[in-house]
Amino acid sequence: MVREAVLLATLFLVYSAGRQIAAKHTGSAFGHADEVLSLQRWLHLPDEAAIQQHALQVPQLVEGANLYYASVHAPLTAVVLLWLSIWRPTAYPRVRWTMVSLTGLALIGHIAYPLAPPRMMPGFVDTGLRFGQSVYGPDHSDGVANQFAAMPSLHVGWAALIALAMILVTRTKWRWLWLLHPIITFGVVVVTANHYWLDGLVALALLAVSLPLLLRPGVRSGRSAVNSVSPLASVK
């Protein structure tokens, strides 16, 4: 467990450093945002600004979306990884390395294609600032977060990964409810104007590229590992 904590902490530090490197190359971020919006119109994707304006008619809905965006993404991912490491030790390394792959590919996107999120663009509302729930603050260049790392959306990518992992390694008929997490997350990032449709779609495409790491033969056997082997005995 200590080794895993050190590994994940190291990966997080590397990813954070990469995002800060990306933050130094944000001159084209707003131009890229115009490109994304133009491409989405060409693809006839739903208008995020119009969807957000409808959502703003129900302030409690938007406040809930802000809370979900700020409070569910990282904590739920950490809890699922911890649960897998204890109760599904056979499946855990596959999920971990799939997440590493997805995150690494996303970091390349953040560096190569800095992108201003919708909340910084005309016609959109920064719902976090409006309702006093912002995790970023009013200064786009302040803080440890690179606010121009919108493409792709790891909120959507991680949510889809942990949902898929939990569906694969659990047996309960309720496991399909895990699909609600990526669906809600996708809606939340759009309503809060933190991501474009394409941010989420690209994240799902990168997850698809990384799936061979997860779907190697034997991943489903992780569901029954806890019944035959002590979790502690499986940790080397």
- What's the predicted TM-score (pTM) here? 0.86
Q: Say if residue 152 is preceded by a cis peptide, omega within 30 of 0.
A: yes
Q: Is residue 65 pLDDT above 50, yes or no?
A: yes
For 141-152, what is the mean pLDDT? 71
Q: Is residue 18 pLDDT above 80, yes or no?
A: no
The whole-number pLDDT of residue 229 equals: 39
The whole-number pLDDT of residue 132 equals: 85
Burial 1-40 (b: 16+ CB within 10 A, else e): eeeeeeebeeeeeebeebbeebbeebeebeebbeebbeeb
Q: How many CB atoms lie within 10 A of CB 217?
A: 6
13, containing H or E segment: helix 2-23
The whole-number pLDDT of residue 1 equals: 65
> Average pLDDT of the chain?
85
Three-state secondary-structure class, residue 115: strand
Q: Is residue 233 pLDDT above 60, yes or no?
A: no
Closest CA to 159 of 176, 180, 175: 180
CA–CA gap between residue 25 and residue 119 (Å, rounded) = 19
For 44-51, what is the mean pLDDT? 97
* Stronger pLDDT, 22 or 16, i.e. the higher one: 16
The whole-number pLDDT of residue 134 equals: 82
- pLDDT, tens digit, 9 for 90 and up, residues 209-223: 999 999 976 666 555
